[in-house]
């Protein structure tokens, strides 16, 4: 089974590998239901989805009648103003067939102008705070990607006491000195304030190349060989502070969870550098 870790100050013992609900965005309900079986097989107890992930919320909704108590349930709003975010959250609750979620997150909040709107008067932050006061969510988080995201998350935490953050983390990304420094500053801040750190893009190989056949539903080219996935997953889990959110492809899911279930120690830099060379790995964000 996959180890559990307290999800920040929430106290919920989440599996260190969290199901990334984007994988359900374009699948049938039958495929989604089979995915639930995989989650239950590995004891996954935390689902992370978003209003913008296609039909993901609709596919998760039918599970909730029987399995709501089995999962810490998180979704996201990408809206920036109070009314739009409020409306989107209520739509998400309807689609998920629930009266509340455990975590609502401000989605992809990295653009400075959008940040000012969302975090300012009449912004989305006011809507999620209101939702917490109304019992529609218990916790509030912020997510994003790009090289600037760690710095923007630090800025967000300085403005508001978020319960969680989400951002990219993998070996090749952390070879960028700017990103690595910002990531370490952010995670130190999160450790001090007991903020949960979710990570994405753990099995990234590179951006899709022009003319390359897209064999997965991820928006980047992932590692697909099990030994390479093992090392990528183990490298992320080698940081005891972070959670790994799974990739947006249901067929990759068993490989990722299998790797996570066998985690013992982080691979050496030499092993990771060998994979960089063998698989021509490149950072997704530059």
Please give the residue range of the domain that contains residue 67.
4-278
Residue 286 covered by a domain: no
Coil, strand or helix at 165: strand
| CATH number of the domain enclosing 133 | 3.20.20.100
Look-up of token digits 């980047």:
220
Predicted local distance difference test score (pLDDT) of residue 93: 98
Predicted local distance difference test score (pLDDT) of residue 253: 98
Q: Would you give the DSSP letter of residue 209?
A: P
- DSSP H helices in the chain: 29-41, 56-67, 82-96, 112-119, 124-133, 149-159, 177-193, 226-237, 253-261, 269-278
What is the token pair recorded at 253? Answer: 């899911």
Residue 284 covered by a domain: no
Residue 56 covered by a domain: yes
- DSSP states of 71-117: -EEEEEE---BHHHHHHHHHHHHHHHT-S-EEEEEETT---HHHHHH
Tens of pLDDT, residue by residue, the chain (286 residues): 899 999 999 999 999 999 999 999 999 999 999 999 999 999 999 999 999 999 999 999 999 999 999 999 999 999 999 999 999 999 999 999 999 999 999 999 999 999 999 999 999 999 999 999 999 999 999 999 999 999 999 999 999 999 999 999 999 999 999 999 999 999 999 999 999 999 999 999 999 988 888 899 999 999 999 999 999 999 999 999 999 999 999 999 999 999 999 999 999 999 999 999 999 999 999 9
Q: Indicate the angle between helix axes 253-261 and 226-237, nearest 10 degrees.
A: 60
Residue 240 covered by a domain: yes
Closest CA to 141 of 173, 170, 108, 95: 108
Closest CA to 16 of 190, 225, 202: 202
CA 114 to chain centre: 20
Residue 137 covered by a domain: yes
What would you report as the CA-atom Rg of the chain, rounded to the nearest whole angstrom? 18
Look-up of token digits 């490989």:
255
Predicted local distance difference test score (pLDDT) of residue 181: 98
CA 199 to chain centre: 6
The count of structural domains within the chain is: 1
CB 16 within 8 A of CB 245: no
CA–CA–CA angle 256, 262, 265 (5° rounding): 105
Residue 164 covered by a domain: yes
Residue 215's alpha-carbon distances to 105, 170, 227, in angstroms, are 30, 21, 19
Residue 79 covered by a domain: yes
Residue 85's alpha-carbon distances to 32, 54, 88, 97, 168, in angstroms, are 26, 17, 5, 18, 24
Residue 154 covered by a domain: yes
């Amino acid at each position: 089974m996959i180890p559990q870790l307290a999800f920040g100050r929430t106290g919920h013992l989440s599996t260190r590998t969290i199901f990334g609900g984007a994988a359900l965005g374009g699948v049938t309900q039958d495929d989604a239901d089979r995915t639930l079986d995989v989650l239950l097989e590995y004891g996954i107890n935390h689902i992370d989805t978003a209003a913008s992930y296609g039909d993901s919320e609709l596919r998760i909704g039918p599970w909730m009648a029987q399995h709501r108590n089995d999962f810490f349930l998180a979704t996201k709003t990408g809206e920036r103003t109070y009314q739009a975010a409020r409306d989107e959250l209520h739509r998400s609750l309807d689609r998920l067939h629930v009266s509340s979620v455990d975590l609502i997150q401000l989605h992809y909040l990295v653009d400075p102008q959008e940040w000012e709107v969302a975090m300012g008067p009449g912004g989305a932050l006011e809507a999620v705070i209101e939702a917490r006061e109304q019992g529609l969510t218990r916790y509030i988080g912020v997510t994003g990607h790009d090289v600037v995201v760690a710095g923007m998350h630090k800025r967000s935490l300085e403005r508001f006491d978020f319960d969680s953050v989400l951002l990219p983390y993998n070996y090749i990304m952390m070879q960028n000195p700017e990103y690595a420094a910002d990531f370490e500053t952010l995670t130190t801040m999160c450790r001090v304030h007991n903020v949960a750190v979710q990570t994405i893009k753990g099995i990234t190989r590179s951006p899709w190349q022009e003319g390359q056949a897209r064999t997965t539903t991820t928006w980047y080219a992932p590692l697909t060989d099990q030994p390479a996935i093992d090392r990528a997953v183990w490298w992320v889990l080698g940081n005891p502070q972070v959670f790994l959110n799974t990739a947006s492809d249901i067929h990759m899911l068993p490989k990722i969870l299998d790797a996570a279930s066998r985690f013992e120690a982080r691979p050496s830099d030499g092993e990771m550098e060998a994979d960089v060379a063998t698989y021509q790995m490149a950072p997704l964000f530059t």
